Amino acid sequence: MTTTTDLTVRRVAGRIGAEISGVEIGPDLDEATVAGIRETLLAHKVIFFRDQHHLTDETQAGFASLLGPLTTPHPTTGRVFGQEHHVLPIDSERGKANSWHTDVTFVDRPPQASVLRAIHLPPYGGDTTWANTVTAYQDLPEPLKALADGLRAVHTNDYDYAASTPRTEVNGELRKYREQFVSTLYRTEHPVVRVHPETGERALFLGHFAQHFSGLSSRDFTALFELLQQRVTRPENTVRWSWRAGDVAVWDNRATQHYAVADYDDQARRLHRITVGGDVPKGVDGSPSRSLVGGSSEYTPAL
């Protein structure tokens, strides 16, 4: 077991993001170090570790498992591309996730956290941006908080990550990925404001998998969604990370959205993601999310 109490935390932005140094992450960290990492994650929503070149897929998964039980790579695409060690490759050959989202919200137990490691990076561009959905909620005027508290949204994977990709750039691999992504349909109703199970903080729970608000028309959904979503992505709520090979980012999927900046032309970009199983979200009134189509039992362990 590796023992270290030399964690150094440097805030990267005012409302979200911190870099941790003084540790080589892996599966053999002691309990005190893991507790310090978790505490920093809860406080800053996304944390970064530079230059973790020693990691492999297996040891990345071992580290992630210290944070909780691991999911399979993905509810749909993870079954076709043959990933091992719970790893989902985030590969530019399969499109660019340049839309604000929280991971896998179309199931009833979205991940609590994601661990992302940079494998191959383009010579320029390719940053990732995260947004703090807790401060986004806190900034709402009281009437908007009251409105959001009572809303519920239906999330679905019937969404094309690569919809903004020009048709001329759609290759066979990308087309296969698109088809697999929607091969099994999931629809889940979530509260628009979820209460964080560890901190008790309220967070806006939206992102691009949210397709409509229960009981409202599509026109009302579009207007209200944009009103609330733009609060999430205000620059003051965000942090942008410029990757180096070997970097690792860990984010609290219950309190963030993220966006991969597609500014690297046709250069190759590959990162490996592992997700940690989460709980069923609950709203301000205590009502849990509910699955409408499909379930998460084959994807994430019950907690």
Q: Which residues pair with 284 in a beta bridge?
A: none
- The burial of 232, by beta-carbon neighbours within 10 Å (0-12 exposed, 13-18 middle, 19 or more buried), is given as buried
CA distances from residue 219 to 116, 150, 156, 167, 215 in whole angstroms, order as listed: 36, 18, 18, 28, 12
Of 62, 57, 64, the C-alpha closest to 27 is: 62
Q: Active site residue: 15, 74, 91, 103, which one?
A: 103
Pairwise CA distance, residues 205 & 202, whole Å: 9
Residue 202 · residue 135 · CB < 8 Å: no
Q: Active site residue: 190, 254, 258, 272, which one?
A: 258
How many Cβ atoms are within 10 Å of 9's Cβ, its own excluded? 16
Q: Could you tell me the two tokens for 18?
A: 């911190």
Helix boundaries (H) for the chain: 31-44, 57-65, 133-138, 142-149, 172-181, 218-232
Q: Could you tell me the two tokens for 140?
A: 């709402």
Q: Which residues pair with 204 in a beta bridge?
A: 193
Write b or e for each residue in 104-140: b if 16 or more Cβ atoms lie within 10 A of its Cβ, otherwise e.
Answer: bbbbbbbbbbbbbbbbebbeeebebbbbbbbbbbbbb
Residue 101 a catalytic site member:
yes
Of 267, 270, 277, 278, the C-alpha closest to 247 is: 270
Pairwise CA distance, residues 36 & 67, whole Å: 11
Q: Active site residue: 101, 117, 187, 202, which one?
A: 101
Residue 258 a catalytic site member:
yes
Pairwise CA distance, residues 198 & 195, whole Å: 9
Catalytically active residues, by annotation: 101, 103, 258, 273
